[in-house]
Amino acid sequence: MTRMTLTFDAVSEATPGSKWASRWQRSWPAYKAWFTARGGDQGPSREDCRAAMQRHMPELLPIYDRLVLIAGSSDRAARFLSTWCPPTYLGGCSLAAFADANDVRLLRNYDLSPDLNEGLLLRTEWSGRAVMGMVEFLWGLSDGINDAGLSVALAYGGRSETGPGFGVTTILRYILETCDSVAEALEILRRVPSHMAYNLVLADASGRTASVELSPGGGVRVMPKAIATNHQSAPTRADRPSFTRSFERRAHLDRLRVAPASLNREFLRAPLLQDRYAEGFGTLFTAEYNPIAQTLGLTLKGERWDQSLGAFQEGQRIVDYGKSATLDAADTGMSDKYASADWAQAALIDWGQVAQDYAAGRGKEIAAYLPAG
């Protein structure tokens, strides 16, 4: 049964220490069960996993070694944390990056079951630079931004085949730890293989944006527009396109003609916003990255939580996805008398009278202030 609540934590820890250790202890039992059930114990050896990281992402090796040490140094933990040739995993998501002469934004909707997200926004300085993003697999990122303003987000590519490569969340961590620009990130993506098909959208403080399709085992295709959902341009059929509505969502993104600052509101409504939480496919969060300001606006079921690299605030939010966002007479407490009120006449309401009534303790349902007839 799908759990309908999710706790989001904002945590800052410059170097891996007690906070990350606490998160490991909390999350590892579930990840260990997933890893073993999906055949992770039959994957590459610990030595092969570390060698792959040394070969492809040497700058991450000191961070990886420290995390393995904190995690207890078991073979299983070391192989899991490397994400080299991991078990398969899927997901949803809509992505877009828009820019003009003065502004740039990267938006993502994270669509999945509340059971399958860590709910962790983590700010780090693991390699000496500040990175902030939503964590997956305990140190990888599904989306994030660094102190150069480079931002990146991922979406499942809709193909379940695999090849020799890293879990994509580790690749995103690597990009944000080592790159300043979209151009540098594209070079990384051309040489570091992903184990599955994923779509990435990137943006940087200069206003450059990009979208790429990663192929299992390596290979990158740069797309003409910085948008993505859950299928790719290859002839391979996407998984469950009618369920994920991937083509509908991408077509909507392709038609959008809005300023970067207006992109967020498009992600907060259909067809990009998903509400099928009980089916395992609802929008858990909307993330708006501003590469110039180095900020993140996180919308959690209609509530906005703003963070920035320079003024990060630790905290917690608990989100209940079981509560309907639909406003009808039952949800709002509106009586049947006003359930069919003509809200097109709202501009004619005497809002001064409304304020006076509520201040005096005699406020009525707002629909009662609509002009008669």
Alpha-carbon distance of 177 to 175, in angstroms, equals 6
Instruction: State the pLDDT at residue 335.
Output: 45
| pLDDT at site 311 | 96
At 364 the pLDDT is 57
Q: Tell me if residue 22 falls in helix, strand or coil.
A: helix
Those residues of the chain that have pLDDT short of 70 are 1-2, 324-370, 372-373
Q: What is the pLDDT of residue 115?
A: 86
Question: What pLDDT shows up at residue 279?
Answer: 86
Query: In one letter, which amino acid is 78?
Result: A
The helices-and-strands tally (H runs, E runs) of the chain is 11, 16
Query: What pLDDT is attached to residue 298?
Result: 98
Cα 9 from Cα 29, distance rounded (Å): 19
What spatial distance separates the first Cα and last Cα of the chain, rounded to whole Å? 48
